[in-house]
Amino acid sequence: MRYIVTGGAGFIGSNLADTLAQNHDVVIIDNLATGRRENIEHLLDHPRVNFIEGSITDLDFLMEVLPGADGILAGPPGAPVGVGSCLERGERDRNTQCTRRGERLQDAGRGCGILGLR
């Protein structure tokens, strides 16, 4: 099976990708805004793993990457950098961002015939 892991260079996403790669093909998507390349360095030469730097907010990008996937596993979005930005944006804005990202993934996934977003 082929899985897409968004936020795959973050702590949780990279561990998820690492586990999936033991038995499945994995495409890691991350824009590296808060994720770190070091988290996936050991996976970059893995024969079942492909890393693509990009944003899940880019619908055209998603429509290129998602076809052929059996599932999308969305890692949690990274925390905004810096305490000040967290306080300025507030929790409501962060929840709105998460909802929009999730909706974008679901729309693109459905358009490519992928039924499950986890």
User: What topology is assigned to 2-111 in CATH?
Assistant: Rossmann fold (3.40.50)
What is the C-alpha R_g of the chain?
14
Q: What is the pLDDT of residue 93?
A: 47
Using left for φ > 0, alpha for ψ between -120 and 50, and beta otherwise, residue 100 falls in alpha
pLDDT per residue as tens digits for the range 69-81: 888 888 666 654 4
Distance (Å, whole) CA 26 – CA 72: 10
Q: Which residue has the tokens 């790669």?
A: 21
Q: How far is CA 77 from the centre of its chain?
A: 8
- 7: CB partners within 8 A, 6+ apart: 13, 29, 30, 35, 74, 75, 76, 77, 78
Residues of the chain with pLDDT under 70: 75-118
CA gap 113, 103 in Å, rounded: 15
pLDDT for the residue numbered 59: 83
pLDDT at 101: 57
pLDDT for the residue numbered 71: 86
Mean pLDDT for the chain overall: 78
pLDDT at position 103, please? 62
Please name the helix (run of DSSP H) or strand (run of DSSP E) that holds residue 93, with its range, or none. helix 83-111
Domain boundaries, the chain: 2-111
Q: Which pLDDT belongs to residue 58? A: 85
Length of the chain: 118
Q: What is the reported pTM?
A: 0.72
